[in-house]
Amino acid sequence: MHKVNNMESSKIRALTIKCLHEAVLEMMSFEWHEEVAKLPTAKRKKVSLLVLDCFNWKVKLENAQLEAILAQLEENKEALEAGTKKVNEALKNLKQVKDVLDATSSLLNVVARVVV
């Protein structure tokens, strides 16, 4: 089990998701299935409901995590769009620089042939 001390809610959520994921993996193992098969019907039903609860809470927490990420992206939408535009402009400038370098290289090759 992981120790929780004054963590942000996102870290607590991520840690909880990890723990639920590990629990679900254990509950999906062959060994788990074999042990549950030995239980009386009423207990097997309770165990099955526990597995479903783990799945459901894991999905709910993962959805909340995705919603938080989406909210952050939406908050930063303008900055992200501006950054993308700057990257595209920089790529155009790099292509222009490459074109200039290629042209200069071609010119220098001609000069070198003439001089040599």
Q: Based on the structure, what is the number of domains in the chain? A: 2
Q: Please indicate, yes or no, whether residues 101 and 59 belong to a single structural domain of this protein.
A: no
Q: Please indicate, yes or no, whether residues 38 and 93 belong to a single structural domain of this protein.
A: no
Range of the domain at 110: 77-116
* 23-42 confidence digits (pLDDT tens): 999 999 999 999 999 999 99
The pTM (predicted TM-score) of the whole model is 0.59
Q: Please indicate, yes or no, whether residues 88 and 54 belong to a single structural domain of this protein.
A: no
- CA 56-58-62 angle, to 5 degrees, is 120
Q: Please indicate, yes or no, whether residues 96 and 56 belong to a single structural domain of this protein.
A: no
Q: What is the mean pLDDT of the chain?
A: 87
Tell me the C-alpha distance between 16 and 25, whole Å. 14
Q: Please indicate, yes or no, whether residues 53 and 108 belong to a single structural domain of this protein.
A: no
Q: Please indicate, yes or no, whether residues 93 and 61 belong to a single structural domain of this protein.
A: no
Q: Please indicate, yes or no, whether residues 14 and 60 belong to a single structural domain of this protein.
A: yes
Burial class (CB within 10 angstroms; exposed 0-12, middle 13-18, buried 19+) of 61 = middle
Q: Please indicate, yes or no, whether residues 34 and 81 belong to a single structural domain of this protein.
A: no
Q: Please indicate, yes or no, whether residues 84 and 56 belong to a single structural domain of this protein.
A: no
* 38-95 confidence digits (pLDDT tens): 999 999 999 999 999 999 999 999 998 899 889 988 988 898 899 889 988 888 888 8
Instruction: Classify 3 as helix, strand or coil.
Output: coil
Amino acid letter at 63? N
Q: Please indicate, yes or no, whether residues 86 and 67 belong to a single structural domain of this protein.
A: no
